[in-house]
Homo-oligomer: A and B are copies of this chain.
Amino acid sequence: MPAPVQKRSQRTRARLLAAAEALVERSGFDALRVEEIVLSAGVAKGTFFAHFADKDALMDELIGARLDAHIDALQDLPPPGDVGDLVDRLMPMLTFMSCERYVFDVILRRSGAAAIEEIGPIARTFYRQGEIVIPWIASGPFRKDVPPDVLAEGIQAFAMQVIALRFCALHAAQGIAEPLKRYLSAWLLAPQAR
């Protein structure tokens, strides 16, 4: 982890990531086992933990990569025309975030930086999402009495809330988009505009 210097080390790390990716492809994130990864990559167990602080750090990498791809797709779009637009754009990412309970748990644990210097991939995607959404909010048809960065943080808070509720049997029936649109209409629009 602390700056891999030898190229052998880089290859090993790449093999571990590739093996993990393949296993996830086959049976999902929740079923991923460190033992299977090292077996498939042909290295010893200890080697894994020489490259990743713990299993969560690997998940951070894998999940962060997918989130990043979703964020990339949002880049360079014009501001959304209304709340429905906004939610529709976020939906692919939110759907992935809620594809497995375990995935959402990892995201919750990792969405904040563990330390100032070492911000993980997932935490970085939250930051990137802000960078994209804030200008949208600022130039779109949304309330102006609250700073756009605060509104953007609120969007993340409500998104997490909706996903969390989705994992309860009580709320599993309704999807993510509808409740989120309800929340964000209240959050992003000035009363007279609603």
Which residues of A come within 8 Å of B, CB atoms?
A: 105, 108-109, 111-116, 123, 143, 145-146, 150-151, 153-154, 156-158, 160-161, 164-165, 167-171, 182-183, 186-187, 190-191, 194
The answer to whether A161 and B150 touch (CB under 8 A), given A113-B168, A113-B169, A170-B112, is no
- Which B residues are in CB contact (< 8 Å) with A112? 164-165, 167-168, 170-171
What chain B residues lie within 8 Å of A161 (beta carbons)?
Answer: 153, 156-157, 160
The docked-state distance in angstroms from the alpha carbon of A183 to that of B191 is 17
When C-beta atoms are compared, the residue in chain B nearest to A143 turns out to be B191
Alpha-carbon distance A129/B114, docked complex (angstroms): 30
Number of copies: 2
Contact status A186-B153, CB under 8 Å:
no
Q: Is A154 in contact with B186, judged by CB distance below 8 angstroms?
A: yes
Indicate if the CB atoms of B191 and A190 lie closer than 8 Å. yes
**A157's closest neighbor in chain B, by CB?**
B161
CA gap between A173 and B156 in the complex, in Å: 21
- Considering only CB atoms, which chain B residue lies closest to A117 in the complex? B169
Q: Which residues of B contact A150 (CB under 8 A)?
A: 182-183, 186
Residue of A156, A168, A190 with most chain B CB atoms under a 10 A cut-off: A168
Establish whether residues A111 and B183, one from each chain, have CB atoms under 8 Å apart when the complex forms. no
Q: Which residues of B contact A183 (CB under 8 A)?
A: 150, 153-154, 157
**Cα A75 to Cα B161 with chains together (Å):** 25
Q: Cβ of A111 and Cβ of B164 under 8 Å apart? A: yes
Most buried by B among A154, A156, A190: A154
Task: Say yes or no: A145-B191 contact (C-beta < 8 A), given A116-B170, A160-B160, A161-B160.
Answer: yes
Q: With a CB–CB cut-off of 8 A, which chain B residues contact A113?
A: 168-170
Q: Inside 8 A of A154's CB, which chain B residues have their CB?
A: 158, 183, 186-187
